[in-house]
Chains A and B, each alone.
Chain A
Amino acid sequence: MLNVYIERQLIKSDMEIIDNNDVVFNYDLYNNMAITPTIRAIMKKIDGADYESGMDMRSRFGNITSMENLSTGCKTMINIVNHPEAVINCIECGDNVLHKIIQMTEGNILLTIIPSNEAIQTNIQLITNQGCCSVHSLPELIQLVV
């Protein structure tokens, strides 16, 4: 289940909150991040990029460049996969990425911007002031938090 926090103060003090997704991703990249099939799929889905070798990718423009040049939204989604114990701040993600993130089935996110409404199924545990509840769709999530 994806754990979704909508307020920072609801996150336990012993949990790391990752706000600067570019820095964390770039650090991992320089420290032998494993480029798994999951990460390659995220790169392709979000940025249209294909992994090449080392820290390089082929961008959707066709040029070979560093994976540091992936979009922040793409890096955020990869951080959710690579840091399952931390809470990943998704504030910098566009709606296109948020729609994919909320369909993830593992991880923890801080979601303070509501994405546009679409008929998307979810497997979310929403953590609010009133406690936790399971949320099975984006329309249901929007109804609960707005």
Chain B
Amino acid sequence: MPKIIQNNLSIKNKIAEFNVNVRGAITIIGGDSSTGKTLYFKEKQLYCQRHNDSTYIFINYSNMKDFLRIFDENVSNKIIFVDNADIIVPDDIDIYRKISNSPNQFVFFGRDITRYDKNYDNWAELQEISKGKYQLTYVLKKAGVVWQ
């Protein structure tokens, strides 16, 4: 099952600062558009590439097929960031089961929460608390309703 590899996923550079402390092995970061989600993803990715940090795997629209390879190749003990998750993660129960049985930590950037986790306690947003400074905040309200 998913496990926490690291709680503190913060990053800071000249452009922006992201204070991200997660409380679960699966975190879904959603909320409004233009709240820094992809910027955070890219800053974290760049940092890890620059410092050869192989703890992380980054998946977005440019390498969508790598998401399913995580399960096919039994990847473990990684922190997996998935941007564009609503179009990358297939909407079926089999994928949800694979995520639930995967010994990794996941951070999904998306809105359709039930694809990734049934626990709304893991739903969070990035809030800009001052210019260029963002904080991960867990939301209490239910995520957007998907009626299809």
- A residues lining the B interface (CB < 8 Å): 6-8, 19-20, 22-23, 46-48, 61, 63, 69, 71-74, 89, 91-97, 112-116, 145-146
Contacts and interface: CB of A to CB of B under 8 A. Distances in A.
Contacts of A114: 144-147
Contacts of A47: 34
Contacts of A46: 33-34
Interface residues of B, number: 27
B147 A92 contact: no
A74 B34 contact: yes
B84 interface: yes
Given A61-B16, A114-B145, A91 B111 contact: yes
A72 B32 CA distance: 11
Contacts of B131: 61
Contacts of B111: 91-92, 94, 113
A95 B31 CA distance: 7
B84 A22 contact: yes
B110 interface: yes
Contact of B38 (A71, A91, A115): A71
Contacts of A74: 33-34
Given A7-B148, A61-B132, 7 more contacts: A20-B61, A91-B87, A94-B31, A96-B32, A113-B146, A114-B145, A146-B145
B6 interface: no
A-B interface, 4 closest residue pairs, ranked by CB to CB distance from nearest? A73-B33, A94-B32, A94-B33, A71-B34
25 contacts: A20-B84, A20-B87, A23-B61, A46-B33, A47-B34, A61-B16, A61-B132, A71-B34, A71-B37, A71-B38, A74-B34, A91-B86, A91-B112, A92-B84, A92-B111, A94-B30, A94-B31, A94-B35, A96-B32, A112-B146, A113-B112, A114-B144, A114-B146, A145-B147, A146-B145
Interface in B16-70: 16, 30-35, 37-39, 42, 60-61
B15 A61 contact: yes
Interface string B65-79: 000000000000000
Interface string B113-148: 000000000000000000110000000000011111
A69 B15 CA distance: 13
Contacts of B86: 91-92
